[in-house]
Structure 1
Amino acid sequence: YFAQHQVDELYVDETPIDHVRRLRPSKTPAQLRAILGGFGIGTEQAETLVGRLSGGQKARLSLLLATIDAPHLLILDEPTNHLDIESREALVEALTAYSGAVILVSHDMHLLELVADRLWLVNNGCVTPYEEDLDSYRKQLLSADKPAKKVAIKAERPKPASREKILSLRSDVRKSEARLEKLNEMRDKLAIKLADSALYDDTRIGELATWNKKYAEVMEALERAEALWLAAQQKLESAENH
C-alpha cells in the first residue's frame, strides 16, 4: 500500500541507505546501493540525508520501501497529491518498471493516461469497469452538471466576451480550485486516519465505519467539485478564445 503522505513519513535525518538497511540488515553496503540504484537513487543520493533530497528522489525512496518485499499487488491511493513535476515523473517511471499488478486510485488524469491499462469507475458506492477512455470520462463529468435542453443553432458569429465576463469566469475557476484544494486536504487527512492499523482492531469497528463514511462523502464531493472546475475552465477557455 502506498499513499502520497508516506513521503512525509521518511526520516529526514537519515540517508536512503539507512532506510533500506533497516529492512535488509544482512545486506552489504554494495547490495543496499544496488537496491537503491534500481529505483533511480544513485550512489551520491544514497548517502545524502533524506531532508536534502529532491521531491522526486523522496518519491522513489517511498515507493521502493513499499515494494521492497516484491508484493504481487501494489495499491496506490492518490499518490500524486501535492507532488511536484519531478516527483510525478519519478513515480511514473517507477510504476512503468514495476512488474506486479497495480490498483491505482487517482483523480490525476495525466498519471492515469500514462500508466493505466484498464479503468474502473467508483460511483454511488459501486465499482464497475469503465469501457470508454479518459476523454469520454471528462465529457461525462462536464455533461453531468448541464441540464438537458435543446439549443437552437444559429449561424451568427459569437460576440467576444467582455473584460468583466472574463474576469468573472477567472474568479469562478479560482473558487473551484480553492474548493478542490480544500477537499483534497480533507481527503488526505482522512486517508492518514484510515491508514492507521490500530483503527482496524475488532473493538473499533463502529469508529472505522464512521471514518469510511466520511471518506466516501468527501470523495463524492471531490468528484462533483472536479466536474464544476472542468466546466468553469472550459467556459473560461471558450471566452478567451473568442
Structure 2
Amino acid sequence: FIDRFKAKASKAKQAQSRMKAIEKMVTITPPEEAARKVFTFPQPDELSPPIISIEGGSTGYTEGQPVLSRLNLRIDQDDRIALLGKNGQGKSTLSKLLSNRLVLFEGKAINSSKLRIGFFAQHQVDELIVHETPLQHMISARPGVMQSKLRAQLAGFGLGPDQADTEVGRLSGGQKARLSLLLATLDAPHLLILDEPTNHLDIESREALVEALTRYSGAVILVSHDMHLLSMVADRLWLVSNGTVKPYEDDLEAYRKMLLTVEKPVSKNPKPVKEAPKPKRANREDILALRAEVRTAEARVTKINDMRDKLAKKLADPALYEKDKVGELEVWNKKYAEVMAALERAEAIWMGALEKLETASA
C-alpha cells in the first residue's frame, strides 16, 4: 500500500500512517489460518487477440425474431466482462451465442481457430447423472486417465475421497456446483462463461471462486446477481438491454443504485428513525474472512496492473500508428481506458477492504 500510494496526494497521509505502524511492529510467528477451500483452474495457452469478434450480429431462438441485434463485440483473452441487465433482457442468450449454443441470424463472427470455451450455467447442476459418483463423471470425461490424477483434480475443487465416491444424488448443492465447474474447466478453456456460478456455493466457496478467477489467465464472461463477485472479478461491464449489448460506462455502484431506485410515496406520518444498533466486535472468523478479502483485492490490483503494462507496451509500438492501423489503434486505446477505469475501481475495493480489516482489528 505504501509503495503504491505514497506519491499520490490524496492517499499520502494514509500511506504515512501505515509506514509508522509498520515501524512499530514486532515480528512474530503468525498463527495458522483456518483451512480454506480452493479451486484450481488449469491455465490455457495464449492466443492472439481477439479471440472472438462479432460485427453487426443478431441472434435468438426463432429465425426472424431476434432477441439481440446490432451486436458489435470484441473479446480478448485477458478480458473480465460482467453482463449487466434485468432478467429477460438477453444475458443468457448472449452467453449461449458466445459459447456456440446459438448461431448468428445475420452479421459476421470470427473466432480464433484454437479457441476452447468452458460454459457453466446453474441448470447444468441438475443435468449431472444422479446415480453416478463424481469420479465416474471424471472417468467418462477423461477416459484412460489414471484415477489418482482424477481424484487429485476433484480434490482441487473441494471434493475429497468421500465425496468422490458418493453418488451425485446424495451430494449437497454446493458440491454439485463444484463438480460442474470442474467439468466446465477440464479442457483449460481460453474463455470461461459463468452463468450464476455462486447460487449453490457457500461463502468460503464463493471466495475460493473469486481467487481462482483472479489467478486464471483466460477470458471470463460473468452473469451474476452477486455484486461482490462482479466487483472483485470484472474489469469491463456490458449492459444487455433494449435488444442489444453496449459497454456500460459507469461503475457497479451506480448500476446497483439504478436498480434500487424506485419512487416511493411520501408517508404523511413518518415513523421515528430508530438508533442503529452498535456493531458487534469482530471474532476470529470475521478477521480471517476480512484478511482473505484483502488478499483477493490486492491480487486483483496486481493482475490489472500487469494488464495495463502489457497494453502500454502494445501502445508504444510505432507500427500501431501507421495509417492503415487507425481502427486497431482506436480499439487498443479504448481497452486501455477501460483497464485504467477498472484499476481505479479495484484500488478503491482494496482500500475499502483494508479499512474494514483495520477497523475490525482495532
TM-score, normalised relative to structure 2: 0.37
Aligned match of 2:183 = 65
Matches of 1:26 and 1:159 in 2, distance apart?
Answer: 68
Q: How far is the alpha carbon of 1:111 from its aligned partner?
A: 2.5
SS at match of 1:136: helix
Q: After the TM superposition, which residues 58-137 of structure 1 pair with which residues of structure 2 at under 5 Å, given as runs?
A: 58-81=176-199, 88-89=206-207, 91-92=209-210, 94-137=212-255
Question: What does the per-residue CA deviation read over 1:90-137, in whole Å, with 9 as the maximum and x for residues that have no partner?
Answer: 644554454321111223323212322222111212222223221111
Q: Which has the larger radius of gyration?
A: 2
Matches of 2:128 and 2:260 in 1, distance apart?
Answer: 39
| Counterpart AA for 1:107 | H
TM-score, normalised relative to structure 1: 0.54
Seen in structure 2, the aligned counterparts of structure 1 residues 38 and 99 have a Cα distance that, compared at 3 Å, is farther
Q: How far is the alpha carbon of 1:88 from its aligned partner?
A: 4.4
| Counterpart AA for 1:72 | H
Aligned match of 2:120 = 2
> Which shifted more, 100-109 or 15-24?
100-109
Are 1:55 and 1:87, in contact at CA under 8 Å, matched by a contact in 2?
no
Q: How far is the alpha carbon of 1:81 from its aligned partner?
A: 4.3
Gapped regions of structure 2 (runs ≥ 5): 1-118, 274-362
Aligned match of 1:160 = 272
- Alignment: residue pair count: 152
| Counterpart AA for 2:225 | H
Seen in structure 2, the aligned counterparts of structure 1 residues 9 and 160 have a Cα distance that, compared at 3 Å, is same
Are 1:56 and 1:88, in contact at CA under 8 Å, matched by a contact in 2?
no
Are 2:173 and 2:200, in contact at CA under 8 Å, matched by a contact in 1?
no
Matches of 1:93 and 1:9 in 2, distance apart?
Answer: 26
Matches of 1:45 and 1:117 in 2, distance apart?
Answer: 35
Matches of 2:202 and 2:133 in 1, distance apart?
Answer: 21
> Which shifted more, 100-109 or 27-36?
100-109
Q: After the TM superposition, which residues 163-178 of structure 1 pair with which residues of structure 2 at under 5 Å, given as runs?
A: none
Q: How far is the alpha carbon of 1:18 from its aligned partner?
A: 0.4
What value does the CA root-mean-square deviation take over the aligned residues?
2.9
Between Structure 1 and Structure 2, the one with more strand by share is: 2
Matches of 2:125 and 2:176 in 1, distance apart?
Answer: 6
Gapped regions of structure 1 (runs ≥ 5): 152-157, 162-242
Between Structure 1 and Structure 2, the one with more helix by share is: 1
Equivalent of residue 17 in structure 1, options 91, 112, 135: 135
Matches of 1:94 and 1:6 in 2, distance apart?
Answer: 20
Question: What does the per-residue CA deviation read over 1:161-191, in whole Å, with 9 as the maximum and x for residues that have no partner?
Answer: 7xxxxxxxxxxxxxxxxxxxxxxxxxxxxxx
Matches of 1:10 and 1:69 in 2, distance apart?
Answer: 18
| Counterpart AA for 1:73 | L
Matches of 1:51 and 1:92 in 2, distance apart?
Answer: 27
Q: How far is the alpha carbon of 1:30 from its aligned partner?
A: 0.6
Question: What does the per-residue CA deviation read over 1:62-90, in whole Å, with 9 as the maximum and x for residues that have no partner?
Answer: 01111111111111223344666566456
| Counterpart AA for 2:176 | K
- Which structure has the higher relative contact order (CA within 8 Å, separation 6+)? 2
Q: After the TM superposition, which residues 132-147 of structure 1 pair with which residues of structure 2 at under 5 Å, given as runs?
A: 132-143=250-261, 145-146=262-263
Matches of 1:100 and 1:140 in 2, distance apart?
Answer: 31
SS at match of 2:159: coil
Matches of 1:57 and 1:79 in 2, distance apart?
Answer: 12
Question: What does the per-residue CA deviation read over 1:174-211, in whole Å, with 9 as the maximum and x for residues that have no partner?
Answer: xxxxxxxxxxxxxxxxxxxxxxxxxxxxxxxxxxxxxx
Seen in structure 2, the aligned counterparts of structure 1 residues 115 and 27 have a Cα distance that, compared at 3 Å, is same
